[in-house]
Structure 1
């Protein structure tokens, strides 16, 4: 079993939390989307959406996050004897959490000069890969068009506003749910939690903890609790707690500038 992912990818974190919680062995492959590695033809042929993560078990390849997590649960029954399947309520919460798309919210909180620099670099990567693999030209062209459309949508304040409103609605629902439970669905950790934790981690990474987490006492307590889990420390804390955050981001930022300077797209 192979997982193509990156520590900065929110959906990658969801799937990795599921794998670690279920005790599933897998081979990890880092694919850095900020450096355009998800546009390399070897990866792009597997998944022309270029989105992370990609889970591969033999010839079986899955791109959808929830589908991957449910598949991991089925694998756990066979490989480690874990007979715990997600209930319908857990699946409904996973779907509700997954409905919030962090893309525009995240990009709107990144300084324009940094965001535009990365966007321009990625477009150059796509053009370079297109020239190398002409049989994939149409799929690469779609990604190029998508990159331009993303920049246009970010100029529309309503797009960012809707994303923020969707996030606030989700957080308020979780806050209410946690009035009666320790975790999102009951007093035991479930895959709904594995899906939600990366959302909170993204808010902290963006420096928005006070605005979205601390002001909600139930979620604040929940956030403190889940950070103590070994799986959180391995999947997220290892890269973004304390000084590790700067190390993770600076490593990518330096590689990005070096490749841009050398024109190695």
Structure 2
């Protein structure tokens, strides 16, 4: 039975799963959800994932949620094109990168994305406070609902924004250090860590923030190599939504001075 993936075109977590599926040559059937239209809150999807989050993988009735759990599941169940280091220490390093995403980095890129760009999309779709509240009330996770109540009205003025920039500034420094020592994030072998992080660095680039790694050529080289993989073309490029890309580019250019101001303050404080 073919794997089924409930996903969204521009979701970084969905991109991560599609990358692994494509790299390992696994056939899959997709169910695309429009997150801005609220497809994830429909009863039919909430029966599959009560949290109303993508991606979700369904394998012969087994429902697997959380993107890192999904890619580990794919590595466990599908032979060929291994994406876990053989060496135990490097395998632990790879898992450390994955845990770091779940421990906060994912929410931080969501904060950057929404504060800079996506809030404008939602505010246009829901132009008054009552409509926004109805949208937020559909979100089953109180933490996620609170996030929306903060970033939608405040944008780059939100404290979450400066915290997110701080966290990604540290991440880029750590990535640069790792990639100066080895070819890939978890050693000399391409791994789940690399596929997990490329959507996040892509997102920063789409938000016109590539100046962030201008003085870190190891990251630029790694990103170019990742984008050169055939899986990148079929898992990310073919799914890119031009409306989203234009939205992120336009508002990203507008927000660049504020981003640079916050980053300069971080350097001064350090």
Query: TM-score surpassing 0.5?
Result: yes
Distance 2:190 2:199 in 1: 14
Corresponding residue to 1:16 among 9, 18, 25: 18
Corresponding residue to 1:92 among 93, 96, 99: 96
> Are 1:49 and 2:45 counterparts?
no
Matches within 5 A, 1:120-131: 127=134
Paired residue total: 236
Distance 1:197 1:47 in 2: 25
TM-score (norm 1): 0.76
Aligned CA distance change for structure 1 residues 118 and 170 (closer, same or farther; 3 Å): farther
> Are 1:235 and 2:235 counterparts?
yes
Task: State the 1:24 CA deviation.
Answer: 1.6
Aligned CA distance change for structure 1 residues 120 and 65 (closer, same or farther; 3 Å): farther
- Stretch deviating more after TM superposition (23-32 or 2-11): 23-32
1:29-74, Cα deviation, whole Å (9 max, x unpaired): 1112022211222112222221111111122212211111110101
> What's 2:257 paired with?
none
Aligned CA distance change for structure 1 residues 113 and 247 (closer, same or farther; 3 Å): closer
Match of 1:3, SS state, is strand
Distance 1:152 1:125 in 2: 10
Question: Could you list the runs of 5+ residues in structure 1 that have no partner in the other structure?
Answer: 131-136, 251-265
Aligned CA distance change for structure 1 residues 127 and 42 (closer, same or farther; 3 Å): farther
> What's 1:25 paired with?
27
Distance 1:119 1:54 in 2: 27
Query: 2:83 touches 2:190 (CA, 8 Å); kept in 1?
Result: no
Match of 1:178, SS state, is helix
1:55-100, Cα deviation, whole Å (9 max, x unpaired): 11122212211111110101113xxx55664522211112123430
Match of 1:34, SS state, is coil
Distance 1:140 1:190 in 2: 31
Query: 1:97 touches 1:170 (CA, 8 Å); kept in 2?
Result: no
Question: Could you list the runs of 5+ residues in structure 2 that have no partner in the other structure?
Answer: 86-90, 247-270
Distance 1:113 1:247 in 2: 13
Task: State the 1:115 CA deviation.
Answer: 4.1
Task: State the 1:13 CA deviation.
Answer: 0.6
TM-score (norm 2): 0.75
> What's 1:134 paired with?
none
